[in-house]
Amino acid sequence: MASLQIPCATPTSQSRSSPHPLFAKPSHFLTHAKRRSNRLRVSATAGQNQSNSSQNVETAQGRVDRRNVLLGLGGGLYGAANLISSPGASANPVQPPELDKCGTATNLNTGEQLDINCCPPVTDRILDYRLPPVYQLKVRPSAHRVSPEYIAKYNKAIDLMKRLPADDPRNFMQQAMIHCAYCNGAYDQPGQGSLDLQIHNSWLFFPFHRWYLYFYERILAKLIGDPTFALPFWNWDNPKGMTIPPMFNDTKAAIYDPKRNQDRLTAVVDLGMTGNTDPLQLVANNLTIMYSEMIRGNADVYDFMGQPYREGTAVNPGPGSSERGSHTAIHVFVGDPREPSGEDLGNFYSAGRDPLFYCHHANVDRMWTLWQYFLPSNKVPDKRITDPDFLNASFVFYDENAQLVRVTVKDSLDNLRMGYDFERVDLPWIDYRPPPQTVKAKIVRTGTTAPKADTLFPLKLEKVVRFQVPKAKKGKADELLVLENITVDTTKFLKFDVFVNDEDDNAFELDKAAYAGTYAQVPHKSKNKTATTSIRLKLTDLYDDMDIGDDDTIVVTLVPRHQGPGVTIGGIKVIENPPAKSSS
């Protein structure tokens, strides 16, 4: 096993205590285990190749150009990107739930009705929310780098939230129940009969959770009388953050939750859910996964954000790469196996009861921001969704004043306009491209006995399966691997990885060119306990990293990470990727 060389430089005390830690220099760089001396670089101006915006942001000094906010008040990590003007009326965006019609939620692992009430207090007074002026950006810190003073303040805020009256919508359990109600079938889509409202597995995933954390953060800030308070993010995409942040393991702290996997409190996270226990290999796997889901595997905006979800749509149109990857892995990694349904973080209905949930999702939100404004635009030139059914979709939340407000997706597209940014830390995965496989795979050189895909599908995926799939075009074409009609048991944790021309069959190692991507889900409910979706995995970089030549076929290996049945795949094919449209 090659070693990972991590220089020992640590953050300065100034970077820990600065009110604007975005200005701190990166603490270290990570060298790829299999790339000698290929040092990674994170530039404060890396995003400036993005198109410049003429939109303005309201600050204490009045209206200023967004670029000045990004490079000045915002600290300069993210480049400017186009904002989207308010669209016209939409035909059928998903509407917010009717609180007075909230029903009984369901345990996602068993399919049985919960004996808890996930429904919020009901009021007739709903206001359309307007983002307040931004006078000072709040900076969400890395949870591994916070000061003792911050930890004390954070615990005080959570303690005060827990002490609020039980029927106060800002109460800790009431806030936790928001996730239960939106994710476990308590709400139906208004005007759509008994069709569930579900904010996972679609393009609503990122906007909903951003709004959720936005109000949660504002409630905590008001409780302690500090409008600058910002939630921490669990920096699980960086080797220094790939364990549960230590402050959450203090059994006397308000942010402690006993319902966590006790074997993983100090273990390196396994974003691939491979079962590997070698810390160095886990770090290499994790960085490869981050590179894949953020950069390598996405052909268009929907591959990252999730598939369209409109009024009347079934609840599982398709999760984006980040949602089905690192997001799902953390939920399952932390969930307590001693509990019947993986509570707390391992089940949607109970996830919000663990304060670590909000720290985890703060990093998920950070991934969206990085993808929007910082990552290279040549992979997905147009990262905007201009569909009115996306922009005009809406939700309802109680704000810091216990007022029920209606919010829209279009108002959540820019974290700076919402008044917060993130501490700048290293992105060691940004250049963590798997090392090239310069020699044609043995299974291709010598011929393969693997059957052809059309003889196997539909396929019940209960064990490792290998088969041949014809390419759409000879050579190193721009192609997509499409897995169609993936029917899943929504009450189970399910995951499988996809490899192309992989000859070593080492299921513990993902840091190789043959790794194409993954599908995974946290248990979630649908009316018939099953859902059907499809995923696409971009093969362009994979072809570049392997000796594909003029092959007519590729050999695909599917490796399930779950136990037993639960996944049926209707079909698989390789298609040409149509040219992406450039941003205007």
Residues 6+ apart with CB under 8 A from 464: 505, 507, 557, 558, 559, 560
Closest CA to 341 of 185, 114, 506, 519: 114
- Rounded (to 5) percent helix, strand, coil in the chain: 25, 15, 55
| pLDDT confidence of residue 108 | 61
Site of tokens 């205007």 = 584
- pLDDT at 22 exceeding the cut of 80: no
pLDDT at 533 exceeding the cut of 50: yes
Is residue 583 scored above 90 in pLDDT? Answer: no
Q: Is the pLDDT of residue 228 over 60?
A: yes
Q: Which of 20-34, 356-370, 559-573 has the lowest mean pLDDT?
A: 20-34
What tokens appear for 407 in the block? 């919010």
User: Which residues touch 36 (CB under 8 Å, ≥6 apart)?
Assistant: none
> Which residues of the chain does CATH 2.60.120 include?
442-576
32 a catalytic residue: no
What CATH superfamily is the domain 99-422? Answer: Di-copper center containing domain from catechol oxidase (1.10.1280.10)
Q: Does residue 65 register a pLDDT over 70?
A: no
Token readout for 63 is 């209206």
Give catalytic status of residue 331 as yes or no. yes
Beta partners for residue 467, in sequence order: 556
Would the annotation count 28 as a binding residue? Answer: no
Identify the pLDDT of residue 344: 96
Architecture of domain 442-576: Sandwich (2.60)
What is the tens place of the pLDDT at every residue in 180-197? Answer: 999 988 999 999 998 999
Residues across the chain: 584
Average pLDDT estimate for 127-145 = 97
Q: Active site includes 28?
A: no
Residue 513: pLDDT band (50, 70, 90) is very high
pLDDT tens digits, one per residue of 247-287? 999 999 999 999 999 999 999 999 999 999 999 999 999 99
| Per annotation, catalytic residue among 32, 144, 331, 524 | 331
Spatial separation of the C-alpha atoms in residues 420 and 136, rounded to whole Å:
8
Written as one string, the DSSP assignment of 508-543 is T---STTEEEEEEE-----TTSEEEEEEEEE-HHHH
**pLDDT one-digit tens code per residue, 356-391:** 999 999 999 999 999 999 888 778 888 999 999 999
Mean pLDDT of 75-100: 57
- Res. 16: pLDDT tops 70: no
pLDDT: which is higher, 191 or 39: 191
Question: So what's the pLDDT on residue 447?
Answer: 60
**Lookup: tokens for 190:** 């208004």
Tell me: pLDDT of 69 over 60: no
Is it the case that residue 328 has pLDDT exceeding 80? yes
Q: What are the tens digits of pLDDT across the range 388-447?
A: 999 999 999 999 999 999 999 999 999 999 999 999 999 999 999 998 886 666 666 556
Does residue 209 have a known ligand-binding role?
Answer: yes
344-to-174, 259, 416 alpha-carbon distances in Å: 15, 6, 31
The predicted structure's pLDDT at residue 377 = 77
Active site residue 361: yes
In the chain, the percentage of residues whose pLDDT exceeds 70 is 80
Q: How far apart are CA 194 and CA 277, in angstroms?
A: 44
pLDDT tops 70 at residue 501: yes
Question: Where in the sequence of the chain do the CATH 1.10.1280.10 domains occur?
Answer: 99-422
Rounded CA-CA distance 192/557 in Å is 40
**327 annotated ligand binder:** yes
Q: Answer whether 420's CB lies under 8 Å from 137's CB.
A: yes
Among residues 144, 327, 360, 524, the one annotated as catalytic is 327
d(CA 243, CA 264): 8
- Of 144, 361, 524, 562, the active-site residue reads 361
- Cβ burial 350-372 (10 Å sphere, 16+ → b, else e): bbbbbbbbbbbbbbbbbbbbbbb
* Of 97, 81, 83, residue with least CA distance to 393: 97
Active site residue 209: yes
Whether residue 20 lies in the annotated active site:
no
Confidence of residue 524 (pLDDT cuts 50, 70, 90): low
Tell which wins on pLDDT, 103 or 253: 253
Which segment of 6-10, 93-97, 195-199, 466-470 scores lowest on mean pLDDT? 6-10
Greatest alpha-carbon span in the chain: 71
